[in-house]
């Protein structure tokens, strides 16, 4: 039964903290709005379908409106929203409309069904661009979501952040729903949920694979854009935020907040960090023709960046219709409050910021020392969390790879493009391969950063899955219902001779080899590796490179493939085991090509198949498709003394290449660790003496270790 809100009044309450704060005495409500003349608190029944009361917030402190609802009405579970009254004049960027129910931007949970309807629009277009919009008087409450007051009590036990150093981090990007929706060992009612991801069998898989951090696609409460809903589609990825503090109900059985915490606690117990992909560049309210759901109705001109020459229109740096006003103090404060909430209350370990260049824009230009970055760095509780930038937006001067502050890491799409291009045999790419493999010092060294600033990947949620990089030359996005116009065309993919599925054994084997090549390259490179969920066993999206709206088998991880391709998953697990055992693959400093203490080899040298180090002519040979990477002192002995070397031989060409091997450490020989062209062969571990040749098959790579490398590293790549 719903609470009795008859004849109640609000006490004055406090302007801080913002949001709905539950205490033993009741609930404090506080919301920012600089231009409103009245803010009403609207209270609903438990289902969010019936509005039971409207009560004006009684106090205003500067630009914060606040009031206190005492017990017995002010208890956990209260369902609420706001109505903001004030001037509606779009020529000044003012869009107040008391007919529209507004979601509290600080709501910790949402409830009620969201339904697209014209009632959600705050205004009605005039039909003439020269004439102003008119106020829409239709009540939107029946169609909008509502906030719900939560009791934050949770038994965290001895939970603590794994605090994995960047050099030891291996990121696994996954979608909460898609990862377990088809998982046969997850109870059916939990598949596709936070609790599904918390299941021991799921966590054991991640741990056994060698993952140290999961990066979750957006879990901030979101709703699909209207154009998708009209097509019967959804925003599956979740980049259409409505409430940044609230975990998405789509992935909950009944209580999103407590179930999210349960998931984090379970992952932490296994030593796995949780990184959230957060969307602080735009919201689902879109441009001027979009709905009034929350920020637009509370304080449009403070929360969104408007065109200076015409305040009716929104600056669009996100490609979705609007851009948050990072220059406004209220917006910056809300984002930092939100990050603190997810760290302090929800125990997450880091954030990947979607279109992060938006956050560094001041006066239209990106700045490494932008105010937001400085304010973020000043927050004690955020000082040691992992911060990852998607280092671009769609505005002018939007590509900012390598320009984020020193504490940040960045998605390195140049790494992705270079490695895809190398393995499909693009010409003139040896120098780029070397720079990316060695940690991208050209991007990060000048700002005093480390190789770990580079997040290395060859596939992520946006674009082809790794298998599709080897199976499709062209995108196949017809299921998105945009006539295959969406998604980018520059995929740097190669279908190995046949477009799409095939039973041709030679093509199938070549695709598998190419997958191994790219996975090996990522996991042996300097920097922080990131894998896309399912790539370790060849998951496919059927050629769709923009599956943001595909909440179906196109996007869900197919665990039957994992059962059929255990050899590939084993390869990835063994590579990650090798990476953990070889400190030389996880350096905190850039490779310099400097002599090591054994004076036999440099920390890295780039080898020609004829046996010499690459010279200027070799680097500029556009026909070259093969090179070797000699990594000095890759291992340490039990006393911590550096020893052992790795030799990574890569041949992207269509013909076998004989590599003359350099001298190993004195008194030792080279031993094959793996050969991606002969993975099922029984002669791995063969010894090859210095000066002899190692034949590297077409489209393949071979890794060798010298005699001082630990035996467990070499034998770890057995087929048993």
Give the active site residues.
Answer: 354, 390
Report CA 122 to chain centroid distance, whole Å: 32
Smallest Cα–Cα separation from 535: which of 466, 593, 590? Answer: 466
Q: Report the DSSP beta bridge partners of residue 362.
A: 365
d(Cα 388, Cα 136) in Å, to the nearest integer? 41
DSSP notation for 112-137: S-----GGGBSEE--SSTTS--EE--
Contact 583, 635 (CB under 8 A): yes
d(Cα 427, Cα 625) in Å, to the nearest integer? 7
d(Cα 318, Cα 455) in Å, to the nearest integer? 22
The three-state secondary structure class of 385 is coil
d(Cα 133, Cα 92) in Å, to the nearest integer? 12
Per the listing, tokens 């869009």 go with 95
Contact 500, 576 (CB under 8 A): no
Contact 35, 301 (CB under 8 A): yes
Contact 257, 229 (CB under 8 A): no
| H or E stretch at 635 | strand 635-636
The three-state secondary structure class of 283 is coil
d(Cα 311, Cα 478) in Å, to the nearest integer? 37
Classify strands 213-216 and 646-651 as parallel, antiparallel or unpaired: unpaired
Smallest Cα–Cα separation from 652: which of 418, 385, 479, 465? Answer: 418
d(Cα 43, Cα 101) in Å, to the nearest integer? 11
Report CA 320 to chain centroid distance, whole Å: 18
Both tokens assigned to 330: 């209220």
d(Cα 357, Cα 400) in Å, to the nearest integer? 7
The three-state secondary structure class of 371 is helix
d(Cα 186, Cα 700) in Å, to the nearest integer? 37
User: DSSP assignment, residue 512?
Assistant: H
User: DSSP assignment, residue 248?
Assistant: P
Rounded (5°) CA angle 536-538-542? 140
CA distances from 229 to 37, 124, 233, 665 (A): 35, 20, 5, 64
d(Cα 74, Cα 26) in Å, to the nearest integer? 4
Contact 108, 29 (CB under 8 A): no
d(Cα 93, Cα 125) in Å, to the nearest integer? 15
CA dihedral 51, 87, 223, 281 (to 10 degrees): -150
Per the listing, tokens 């090798």 go with 578
d(Cα 231, Cα 226) in Å, to the nearest integer? 9
């Amino acid at each position: 039964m719903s609470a009795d809100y008859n004849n109640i009044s609000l006490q004055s309450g406090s302007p801080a903290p913002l949001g709905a704060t539950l205490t033993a005495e009741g609930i404090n409500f506080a919301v920012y709005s600089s231009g409103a003349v009245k803010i009403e608190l609207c209270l609903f029944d438990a289902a969010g379908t019936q509005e039971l009361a409207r009560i004006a917030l009684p106090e205003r402190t500067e630009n914060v409106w606040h009031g206190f609802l005492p017990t017995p009405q002010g208890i956990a579970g209260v369902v609420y929203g706001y109505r903001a009254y004030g001037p509606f004049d779009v020529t000044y960027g003012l869009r107040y409309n008391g007919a529209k129910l507004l979601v509290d931007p600080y709501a910790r949970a949402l409830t009620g069904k969201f339904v697209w309807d014209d009632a959600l629009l705050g205004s009605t277009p005039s039909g003439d661009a020269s004439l102003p919009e008119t106020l829409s008087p239709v009540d939107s409450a029946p169609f909008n979501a509502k906030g719900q007051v939560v009791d934050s009590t949770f038994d965290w036990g001895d939970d603590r952040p794994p605090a994995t150093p960047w050099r030891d981090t291996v990121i696994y990007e996954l979608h909460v729903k898609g990862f377990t929706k088809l998982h046969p060992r997850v109870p059916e009612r939990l598949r596709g949920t936070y609790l599904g991801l918390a299941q021991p069998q799921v966590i054991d898989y991640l741990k056994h694979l060698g993952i140290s951090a999961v990066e979750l696609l957006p879990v901030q409460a979101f709703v699909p854009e209207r154009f998708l809903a009209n097509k019967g589609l959804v925003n599956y990825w979740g980049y259409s935020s409505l409430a940044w503090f609230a975990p998405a109900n789509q992935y909950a059985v009944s209580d999103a907040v407590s179930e999210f915490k349960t998931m984090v606690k379970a992952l932490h117990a296994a030593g796995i960090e949780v990184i959230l992909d957060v969307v602080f560049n735009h919201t689902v309210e879109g441009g001027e023709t979009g709905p009034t759901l929350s920020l637009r109705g509370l304080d449009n001109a403070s929360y969104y960046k408007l065109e200076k020459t015409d305040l009716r229109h929104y600056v669009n740096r996100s490609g979705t219709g609007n851009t948050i006003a990072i220059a406004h103090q209220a917006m910056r404060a809300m984002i930092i409050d939100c990050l603190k909430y997810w760290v302090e209350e929800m125990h997450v370990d880091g954030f990947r910021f979607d279109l992060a260049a938006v956050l560094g824009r001041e006066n239209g230009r990106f700045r490494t020392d932008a105010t937001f970055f400085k304010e973020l760095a000043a927050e004690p509780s955020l000082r040691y969390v992992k911060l990852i930038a998607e280092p671009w937006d769609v505005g002018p001067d939007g590509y900012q790879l390598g320009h984020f502050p020193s504490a940040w890491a960045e998605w390195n799409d140049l790494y992705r493009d270079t490695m895809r291009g190398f393995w499909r045999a693009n010409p003139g790419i040896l120098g780029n391969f070397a720079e990316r493999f060695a940690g991208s010092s050209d991007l990060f060294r000048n700002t005093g950063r480390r190789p770990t600033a580079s997040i290395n990947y060859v596939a992520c949620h946006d674009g082809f899955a790794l298998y599709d990089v080897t199976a499709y030359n062209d995108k196949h996005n017809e299921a998105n219902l945009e006539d295959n116009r969406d998604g980018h065309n520059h995929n740097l993919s190669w279908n190995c001779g046949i477009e799409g599925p095939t039973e041709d054994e030679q093509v199938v084997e070549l695709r598998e080899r190419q997958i191994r090549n790219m996975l090996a390259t990522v996991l042996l490179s300097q920097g922080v590796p990131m894998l896309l969920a399912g790539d370790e066993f060849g998951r496919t999206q059927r050629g769709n490179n923009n599956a943001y709206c595909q909440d179906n088998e196109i996007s869900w991880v197919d665990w039957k493939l994992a059962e059929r391709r255990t050899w590939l998953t084993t390869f990835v697990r063994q590579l990650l085991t090798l990476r953990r055992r070889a400190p030389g693959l996880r350096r905190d400093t850039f490779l310099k090509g400097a002599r090591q203490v054994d004076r036999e080899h440099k920390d890295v040298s780039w080898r020609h198949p004829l046996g010499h180090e690459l010279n200027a002519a070799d680097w500029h040979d556009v026909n070259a498709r093969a090179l070797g990477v000699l990594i000095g002192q890759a291992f340490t002995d039990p006393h911590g003394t550096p020893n052992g070397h790795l030799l990574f031989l890569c041949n992207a060409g269509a013909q076998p290449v004989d590599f003359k091997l350099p001298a190993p450490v004195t008194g030792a020989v080279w031993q094959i660790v793996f050969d991606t062209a002969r993975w099922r062969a029984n002669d791995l571990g063969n010894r090859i003496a210095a000066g002899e040749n190692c034949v590297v098959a077409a489209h393949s790579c071979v890794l060798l270790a010298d005699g001082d490398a630990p035996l467990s590293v070499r034998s770890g790549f057995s087929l048993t």
